[in-house]
């Protein structure tokens, strides 16, 4: 039996998983500060949610879904993305008020695997439901940008565009179909096949891009209201100090978008998978799923690609505040109790689980990059422990009361 994970999936272990943890924590922290509550929802949903929500003509629905019948004969799909299910959950909740929701977890798409293109990949994301003001778009785009700043991702470009509202999208689509039909003999088979199903996606074709000069663009069909919305979003981004570039060719691969769309691009990665996140407004999605009108905007960021873009410098072992050294085995239980109390007090503390020489314990403390070693020995009977500062080699005896040990360690060895 092979121990390798299935094709297109990864086991993420230390040291790589340390970076994952740092990145996931940074997102969770920032999303909470911006007022996004957590949503937890099923990793699989009924197939219809994605067929309707993501769109029948999209690559995701046509080629990439993990779909199967469960034992009760229901068609089930492993979630290829989050937004359709989050909207379903919001509709199911019956809530009439706006909700700001954040999530993190694995998504599944049957794609041709390569670096940064996985069959199971993680996304973190937010969805701002029930709000149609441009301020919501700005907040969401800004939050994504601040996240990349927080994790020090360099070479990031934020691209924005607008697709217009449903009426302007329909008018543009019709004009585009007629333009593409006129030049169909020059187009690749792929693009030709998309004319009727998903003409916007022809803009994504690398082969055909140069044949599209003069093609009708979404920007040319904007209603006054959509144009105003887009201007307000750009003004808001300027005020927020979020740098962006306008990319009139940015159309996104999922059907539910209206008005604002955006993508975060890591310019240091290969062009084929350098989108480290993307999102936009999807004011019609709730109705497409059979619900009421719920204007909304959100994004999803691809953690696998982000970690790739951060480079392969090894993330250091998380340093311990202290390592407890048992100098005398008879006092092991006391040492275990001390570790427990120090952890309760918020310190990162560890010890060896079984008897080892004092020298070996100090070595373990070094390996774990502990700032201090706390030696539990004879001095315990005098109400004290010895604390050794492992970078300076300096030893001090302090009262074995948890507060005094914690105080000593937190003050970096200066007497409290």
Residues that bind ligand HAM (CB under 6 A): 81-83, 109, 111, 116-118, 121, 123, 125, 127, 253-254, 275-280, 282, 298-300, 302, 304-305
**Which residue, 10 or 389, is less far from ligand HAM as judged by CB?**
10
**Which residue, 20 or 179, is less far from ligand HAM as judged by CB?**
20
Write down the least CB distance from residue 26 to ligand HAM, Å. 16
Write down the least CB distance from residue 269 to ligand HAM, Å. 10
On whether the CB atoms of residues 45 and 77 are closer than 8 A, the answer is: yes
> How buried is 9 (Cβ within 10 angstroms: 0-12 exposed, 13-18 middle, 19+ buried)?
middle
Write down the least CB distance from residue 296 to ligand HAM, Å. 8
Q: Which element (helix H / strand E) includes 240?
A: helix 224-240
**Which residue, 120 or 341, is less far from ligand HAM as judged by CB?**
120
**Which residue, 55 or 277, is less far from ligand HAM as judged by CB?**
277
**Which residue, 54 or 320, is less far from ligand HAM as judged by CB?**
54
Tell me how far apart the alpha carbons of residues 19 and 35 are, in angstroms, rounded to a whole number.
Answer: 25
Write down the least CB distance from residue 81 to ligand HAM, Å. 4
Tell me how far apart the alpha carbons of residues 60 and 386 are, in angstroms, rounded to a whole number.
Answer: 61
* Residue with the CB atom nearest ligand HAM in the bound state: 302
Write down the least CB distance from residue 257 to ligand HAM, Å. 7
On whether the CB atoms of residues 21 and 27 are closer than 8 A, the answer is: no
Residue that the structure tokens 């996931």 belong to: 24
**Which residue, 27 or 282, is less far from ligand HAM as judged by CB?**
282
On whether the CB atoms of residues 376 and 331 are closer than 8 A, the answer is: yes
Is cis: bond before 15, omega within 30 of 0?
yes
The CB density around residue 1, as the number of other CB atoms within 10 Å, is 3
**Which residue, 69 or 92, is less far from ligand HAM as judged by CB?**
92
On whether the CB atoms of residues 36 and 124 are closer than 8 A, the answer is: no
On whether the CB atoms of residues 34 and 139 are closer than 8 A, the answer is: yes
The CB density around residue 205, as the number of other CB atoms within 10 Å, is 15
Write down the least CB distance from residue 27 to ligand HAM, Å. 13
Residue that the structure tokens 């020298």 belong to: 359
Write down the least CB distance from residue 192 to ligand HAM, Å. 24
Write down the least CB distance from residue 252 to ligand HAM, Å. 6
On whether the CB atoms of residues 6 and 122 are closer than 8 A, the answer is: no
Longest dimension (CA), the chain: 93
**Which residue, 79 or 172, is less far from ligand HAM as judged by CB?**
79
DSSP 356: -
């Amino acid at each position: 039996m092979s121990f390798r994970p299935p094709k297109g999936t990864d086991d993420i272990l230390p040291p790589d998983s340390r970076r994952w943890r740092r990145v996931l924590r940074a997102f969770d922290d920032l999303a909470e500060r911006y007022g996004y509550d957590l949503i937890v929802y099923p990793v699989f949903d009924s197939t219809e949610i994605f067929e309707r929500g993501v769109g029948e003509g999209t690559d995701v629905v046509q080629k990439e879904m993990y779909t199967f019948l469960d034992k009760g004969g229901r068609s089930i799909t492993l979630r290829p993305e989050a937004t359709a299910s989050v909207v379903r959950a919001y509709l199911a909740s019956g809530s009439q008020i706006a909700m700001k929701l954040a999530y993190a977890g694995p998504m599944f798409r049957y794609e041709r695997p390569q670096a940064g293109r996985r069959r199971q990949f993680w996304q973190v994301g937010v969805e701002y439901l029930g709000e149609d003001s441009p301020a919501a778009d700005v907040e969401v785009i800004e939050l994504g940008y601040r996240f990349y700043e927080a994790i020090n991702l360099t070479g990031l470009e934020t691209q924005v565009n607008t697709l217009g509202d449903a009426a302007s999208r329909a008018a543009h689509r019709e004009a585009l179909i007629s333009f593409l039909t006129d030049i169909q003999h020059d187009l690749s088979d792929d693009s030709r096949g998309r004319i009727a199903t998903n003409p916007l996606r022809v803009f994504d074709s690398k082969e055909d891009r140069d044949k599209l000069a003069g093609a009708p663009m979404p920007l040319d069909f904007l209603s006054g209201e959509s144009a105003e919305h887009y201007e307000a979003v750009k003004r808001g981004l300027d005020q927020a100090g979020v740098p962006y570039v306008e990319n009139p060719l940015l159309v996104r691969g999922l059907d539910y978008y209206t008005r604002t769309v955006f993508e975060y691009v890591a310019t240091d990665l290969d062009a084929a998978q350098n989108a480290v996140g993307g999102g936009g407004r999807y004011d019609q999605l709730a109705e497409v799923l059979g619900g009421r009108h719920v204007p909304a905007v959100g994004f999803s960021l691809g953690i696998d690609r982000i970690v790739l873009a951060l480079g392969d410098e090894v993330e250091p072992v998380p340093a311990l505040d202290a390592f407890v050294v048992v100098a005398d085995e008879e006092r092991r239980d006391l040492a275990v109790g001390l570790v427990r109390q120090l952890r309760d007090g918020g310190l990162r503390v560890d010890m060896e689980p079984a008897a080892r020489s004092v020298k070996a314990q100090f070595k373990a403390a070094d390996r774990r990059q502990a700032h201090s070693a706390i030696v539990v020995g004879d001095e315990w009977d005098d109400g004290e422990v010895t604390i050794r500062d492992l970078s300076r080699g300096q030893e001090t005896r302090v009262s074995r009361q948890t507060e005094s040990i914690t105080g000593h360690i937190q003050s970096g060895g200066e007497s409290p």
